[in-house]
Structure 1
Amino acid sequence: MVDAIALGGCLLGGGGGGSMAEGIKLAMAALKHGKVLLKDINAIDPESVVLTSSAVGAPSSSEAFVTDQDHQRTVELCQAVGVSGINAFITNECGGGSIFNGWVPAAILGLPLLDAPCNGRAHPTGLMGSMGLHRIKDYVSVQSAVGGNPKTGKHLEAVFKGTLDSASSLVRQCAVYAGGLVAVARNPVKASFIKDHGAPGAIKLALKLGEAMMKLKSSGPQAVASTSMDILGGNVITASRVRDKKLVSEGGFDHGKIVLEDGHEITFWNEYMTLECNGKRISTFPDLIMTLDGESGVPATSAEVRKDQMVIVVSASAKNLILGEGMRCKELFEPIEKVIGKEIISYLTL
């Protein structure tokens, strides 16, 4: 199931969510420690304490370094500051890499992984993946971060308690100092909260997408793209060559734009944020905008797309995705406009 989950997860990453190669590597590392039991949210006691596993950073960073031991250590740091009685894990989002967050600690500790990510697509900020917890007065967030290569002197471990905004900002800074990426454990909540505010069923959707795409691989990239959009109720927008790509890595994020030869332009902030053609808006985050390699049909993230590459662009409405509460909090979209220099909020339909 790993390859299919990675493939479908990467598509749902919408340009972000890490690489499939790293995700598969993380999954296989977890399976060396034991079985990973995927459970439905309804199969666990609503009072169960669940911890979110994630990774934070800029996907294109050449110094990014996180091990499976780092993922395990994030849980230990949370326990060290009073988080107890952990019954299960969830991942923060769907993405080629991030959909496997939580597998390592789940396998090591013998605890289940719930099919209820914080969000059923990838997103750029920690607050977007916090299921609306920032709106709960007096909620105290616990977040730990571990990553960086010890051989280059960049390894660090940290744990924070405070408001969601402050803790998330500090974790983002840890990613910068660690060379671009850290493993994260955060925000213990009850399963009942996740059922109402998370994205139950998103991992099964990723599996369904991946299995369908794998079956049609021999039929060509257009067939793979069309099938995935049939499942999501989306559209294949165009197939064109990348004329130009601008990417800047700063503050633990990647941002920039991809320009195609046929006039389509995609902006990104880790994930793809806007899709336009000759200045006309076609799709806006949290709508799913994704690129697939034009020769293989394999999803390609914003960090992986390169100049002169032939790509297929697909898009599906956010209304057809399984999204968490963070995608319904308008205030969380304001930073996107500042980064990419385009309107987002006026296009929101959720």
Structure 2
Amino acid sequence: MGRILTEKDVEPAVKGGSVYAAGGGGWADHGRKLGYTAVSVGKPELVDISELYANEWVATAAAIGAPASTTPWEMQGVDYIKAVSLLQDALGEKLSGLMVGQNGKSSTLNGWLPSAVLGTKVVDAVGDIRAHPTGDMGSIGLAASPLQMIQTAVGGNRSEHRYIELVIKGATAKVSPVLRTAADQSGGFIASCRNPVRASYVRQHAALGGISLALALGEAIIAAEGRGGTAVIETIAKTTGGTILVEGVITEKSVVYTKDAFDIGTVTLASGDVLHVMNEYMAVDSRDGVRIATFPDVITTLSVDGEPLSVGQLQVGMQIFVLQVSKAVIPLSSSVKDPTVYPYVEKSMGIELARYALS
């Protein structure tokens, strides 16, 4: 049966989600705000996809953008609820559940508040276990679909009159960039609800159990925290089935915010290893240019205390540990196996991904 999410689940969701955020995935404080608000106003319920009837509607609750501290973003909990309501209105039927496109510092909790207020279930499924730069990568195989989908976006900086409400219909590949533009116009970060599909489709195409994985990881991290940074790092590696790929001091960081609302660039370690960034860590090359990790592997940077660091937190001179969780040991969705989601990211980053990701 379903599990009612309570106050004691918020911190594990944020901490586990922060590891799977892979250097992106929103803001921890934003995640806490969403979680604590949700459990105080209602009873969000986490359910396995098998608990829904095959023909019930499930949509994806998401946050879109690359909200750097340099952008005037503002997102309120009510924006997530409004995005779901607008989608239900456009669909003309009630949504039974919400999944999320990815885990992250806040994105693991994106479905909780609508669940508490509107009664939609928090479905234990994600578009991708880890965070990723484009909506297509979490679109559970819909990226190249010609089907008309519905997507909504709500939010923005109120004081700068950037608040936007958007309802758009079209093929996913054509409407996703419109939502990214809306995110940029709103101040860099916007709430979204998109791509309603039947529960039977989610069961076949999503990465199932993704929310439970984040919660279990967060609980393990909290249990290890009293034993120091080394214990936390070892616990993260053991619980995720990952390894510490490289460690060292950052010698160079070259990441820029683009007009398409992406942070793109590289982070180089003293060892010569290079982390390739597009919002999240997408690949790691060794000093001699050999690829040693590629999306959809989980790639995460940890501080010496075992804190997952976002790309924005990294600074030259910092000592970091790079965690890799091989794609072989995590549930994979249809979207990360879809060749059509890679060319745009490869072109933006200037590196190869698909050859490694799909092998």
| TM-score, with length taken from structure 1 | 0.95
Distance in 2 (CA, whole Å) between partners of 1:22 and 1:36 is 17
Distance in 2 (CA, whole Å) between partners of 1:83 and 1:177 is 28
1:198 corresponds to which residue?
A: 206
* Alpha-carbon shift at residue 239 of structure 1 (Å): 2.7
State the secondary structure of the residue aligned to 1:133.
coil
Q: 1:233 aligns with which of 228, 238, 241?
A: 241
2:22 corresponds to which residue?
A: 14
2:143–2:335 Cα contact (<8 Å) kept: no
* Alpha-carbon shift at residue 261 of structure 1 (Å): 2.0
* Alignment: residue pair count: 348
1:106 corresponds to which residue?
A: 115
Distance in 2 (CA, whole Å) between partners of 1:237 and 1:94 is 21
Q: Report the AA paired with residue 173 of structure 1.
A: T
| Structure-to-structure mapping, 1:237-256, within 5 angstroms | 237-250=245-258, 251-256=260-265
1:83–1:188 Cα contact (<8 Å) kept: no
| TM-score, with length taken from structure 2 | 0.93
CA RMSD of superposed structures (Å): 1.5
Distance in 1 (CA, whole Å) between partners of 2:198 and 2:128 is 16
Q: 1:223 aligns with which of 212, 224, 231?
A: 231
> Structure 1: where are the runs of 5+ without partners?
none
The Cα offsets for residues 193-216 of structure 1, whole Å up to 9 and x where unpaired, read as 101100111111111111112222
* Alpha-carbon shift at residue 163 of structure 1 (Å): 0.8
| Structure-to-structure mapping, 1:296-307, within 5 angstroms | 296-307=305-316
More off after superposition, 283-292 vs 233-242? 233-242
1:280 corresponds to which residue?
A: 290
Distance in 2 (CA, whole Å) between partners of 1:198 and 1:235 is 25
The Cα offsets for residues 270-289 of structure 1, whole Å up to 9 and x where unpaired, read as 11011122122210111111
The Cα offsets for residues 102-134 of structure 1, whole Å up to 9 and x where unpaired, read as 111111112211101122211111111111123
* Alpha-carbon shift at residue 135 of structure 1 (Å): 4.1
Shift in alpha-carbon separation, 1:163–1:210, aligned structure 2, 3 A: same
* Alpha-carbon shift at residue 9 of structure 1 (Å): 1.2
1:314 corresponds to which residue?
A: 323
1:74–1:146 Cα contact (<8 Å) kept: yes
2:12–2:215 Cα contact (<8 Å) kept: yes
1:55 corresponds to which residue?
A: 63
1:72 matches 2:76:
no
Q: 1:188 aligns with which of 187, 192, 196?
A: 196
1:328 matches 2:337:
yes
1:118–1:194 Cα contact (<8 Å) kept: no
Distance in 2 (CA, whole Å) between partners of 1:345 and 1:49 is 31
Distance in 2 (CA, whole Å) between partners of 1:258 and 1:35 is 42
> Structure 2: where are the runs of 5+ without partners?
1-8
Distance in 1 (CA, whole Å) between partners of 2:343 and 2:313 is 26
Distance in 2 (CA, whole Å) between partners of 1:327 and 1:258 is 24
1:267 matches 2:296:
no
Distance in 1 (CA, whole Å) between partners of 2:56 and 2:313 is 38
Distance in 2 (CA, whole Å) between partners of 1:237 and 1:135 is 33
The Cα offsets for residues 183-236 of structure 1, whole Å up to 9 and x where unpaired, read as 000011111110110011111111111111222222222322222222333211
2:205–2:333 Cα contact (<8 Å) kept: yes
Q: Report the AA paired with residue 225 of structure 2.
A: K
